[in-house]
Structure 1
């Protein structure tokens, strides 16, 4: 899909009243990880979503609040507030707010004043599932039921979730994630291995099918011997990809592989910054993942503890240090010379600039998923302006969806052979 400069602005801008921001406000979106507010009365944390500054806290009863970042009295920052006795108390004059934004106390005013009844602040509804605090920031009359993706139903013993921040617009992060062809190049971490499935065919054939949740797209690679390597991906509007993979786990002197599904959710922090939520879960309800399996996967991706700036979700490898590219490693061992699959993606995506000019692109046949996503997102801006229901927002649109990864015969119809694998098992 050829994108004009005007369409690019409509697709990428999310702050204020921007049309794409209004799209995101009509879905439940991740606001923060549950681990960021781990226990009752823990310190509040700053949250920024769609260009809006907020503060999150978990009250004495374990309920999470997501409020305007500033006190209604003098706009003092509530990040410095005291989280106590089922409320967040501003340290400037002691005004206190509950998880719903109600003002509970105005101790700097005369006793008995009714000021607190009109001093409440903005609060967004939240929903906790899958290790994530989700929020809805749109009109009340268009609010769907909370999400019910299959991975949210997997127990904690079967899944893992993490977060990474990225310094670019959300759309180029999404487009990098749903671009299946680049994995044959950017993520070739062993130049000597010419027999890997993605190295055997570096120009996959893509097919796309529209779905109630967004779309399904299939990548088909010819690998010889009358076989094809099939990967069936799901894109759930407006921001989630799900795919299937065998995750390796190395423990007790034995190597093992476990069938799993994993993916990403790309959430706009503002126009030029994105939070990426990474998740993985066991493909089989009867098979919990081994201890440390997700942590080991994160290290392989370049998202281990040592890869982050202390106390943040920002990577140590960043544009300012050219992602620590090693040109000798690039020449002799890996395609990019950059360590970590996640980091390789970030280097390319942020290197395009904060918001890439898509009017200068020359798309090819392997960009079908990207052009489909753009089309659906542009249509979503029109739906939001007309007040229509959003594609994939209702739980029944996405709850039965999963991805698949398998070898098939040349003559097999991929839709048929992967049909059962694309239905939720949880």
Structure 2
């Protein structure tokens, strides 16, 4: 390659390397950080926010979340505007949060409403506007918007699982990871890893529930995958043979910009009785900074007649089901056998912020490539004054995201930006006892 062709290739490679360097950044003033600030983010579980302020780090900023005496949540800069004492040790008052050092008091919008040590006629407090961000309490969570439109932010995108009333929703927090959040998000654009990594050990699944057995899994390789860009982000769809030429097994994983991931429970849509227990799983990320994030998992449980238990998150002892060998000195020994732990081990092993320039991507990485293109487009949109993907200024009851996982007849199969099979009000499709597709 010579001349302009070589120059174009070099320019494209340079631009891609620049993208890889800026994607993991979360702080204010960074291109990726400014993109992230156009979305609402989870701060903490509502149940955890009581009458004591909680220090939180969000998008590389140190903040404090609290409830005032009337129960209204607020999110302020961590350090008092007076002498920089931490408001984590502040005192909750009826109308706001008071710094315990000298008594400066702030309302939920950062206005200083009292300076008890200043003269009564002082107007200093009128000149102070402490760092604050708008918050909304919904779906068992405290949410915040940290972008430029604090006075009039876009509507909170209400993820469908948390808006549902047809089952019991469980929220689990506290799983803090010490690496970049994209290590996790790219994991859900990479369904192929599930067959290899999570297939290292045969799961405790009945043999008759094909195609979940070892022989069938071997027949799936290489894994047939479709990657589809959607209004909310992207999804990965696998369509697998089942031994019946008229029936396929379909699995869908979805990413909703920029922090939500979704998948269906493994026990949805199993034959012969399709009225089984069904779990819809997923979660969201509280981005702490460039090298830390917290996983907040959510699951919707609907009870049927298929017995089973669903374990959410990591085992407390960080041990898998494989026995530890006495000469195994690795940090995580005997780690195989628990998918959540398997993901932790391999994602952490990539490094805090992996040097993606050293990667060699293949055709099975098309989902990762699509995700990076979507993130790149979102960054460019924000830099050019446009809303990024997933920011919808129209009031909506909920954000519907695909979650299908089950058996589908060939003549019912369709794959596209719309839900596959179609869903309404966030409800995935399963089969009733007569084999008919119905909303779950």
Alignment TM class, shorter chain as reference = 0.7 to 0.9
Provide TM-score, normalisation by structure 1: 0.81
- Unpaired runs of 5+ residues, structure 2, are 1-11, 269-274, 428-438
C-alpha distance in 1 between matches for 2:74 and 2:213: 45
Q: Matches of residues 3-14 of structure 1 in structure 2 within 5 Å?
A: 4-14=16-26
Provide TM-score, normalisation by structure 2: 0.79
Answer whether contact 1:170 1:266 (CA < 8 A) is retained: yes
- Unpaired runs of 5+ residues, structure 1, are 249-255, 308-315
SS of the residue 1:279 aligns to = strand
C-alpha distance in 2 between matches for 1:13 and 1:261: 31
Q: Matches of residues 20-419 of structure 1 in structure 2 within 5 Å?
A: 20-37=32-49, 39=50, 42-140=51-149, 143-155=153-165, 158-163=168-173, 164-188=175-199, 190-191=201-202, 197=212, 199=214, 200=217, 201-226=220-245, 227-246=247-266, 257-282=276-301, 297-299=310-312, 301-302=313-314, 307=316, 317=318, 326-328=323-325, 337-338=335-336, 340-394=338-392, 399-409=399-409, 413-415=413-415, 418-419=420-421
Pick closer, same or farther for the CA change 1:389–1:173 going to 2, 3 Å: same
Distance apart, 1:364 and its partner CA: 2.7
Answer whether contact 2:203 2:337 (CA < 8 A) is retained: no
Pick closer, same or farther for the CA change 1:325–1:92 going to 2, 3 Å: farther
C-alpha distance in 1 between matches for 2:288 and 2:298: 19
Distance apart, 1:262 and its partner CA: 1.4
Structure with more helix by fraction: 1
Distance apart, 1:29 and its partner CA: 1.2
C-alpha distance in 1 between matches for 2:233 and 2:320: 33
SS of the residue 1:111 aligns to = coil
Measured against aligned partners, the alpha-carbon deviations of 1:222-248 in whole angstroms (never above 9, x if no partner) come to 343324321122221122222212459
C-alpha distance in 1 between matches for 2:213 and 2:334: 16
Pick closer, same or farther for the CA change 1:132–1:289 going to 2, 3 Å: farther
Distance apart, 1:119 and its partner CA: 2.2
Distance apart, 1:72 and its partner CA: 0.6
Distance apart, 1:401 and its partner CA: 2.9
C-alpha distance in 1 between matches for 2:20 and 2:75: 31
Question: Could you say which structure has the larger radius of gyration?
Answer: 2
C-alpha distance in 2 between matches for 1:155 and 1:122: 36
Measured against aligned partners, the alpha-carbon deviations of 1:110-148 in whole angstroms (never above 9, x if no partner) come to 223222222231110011122211111011188311112
SS of the residue 1:32 aligns to = strand
Pick closer, same or farther for the CA change 1:216–1:176 going to 2, 3 Å: closer
Q: How many residues were matched structurally?
A: 388
By relative contact order (CA 8 Å, sep 6+), the higher-ranking structure is 1
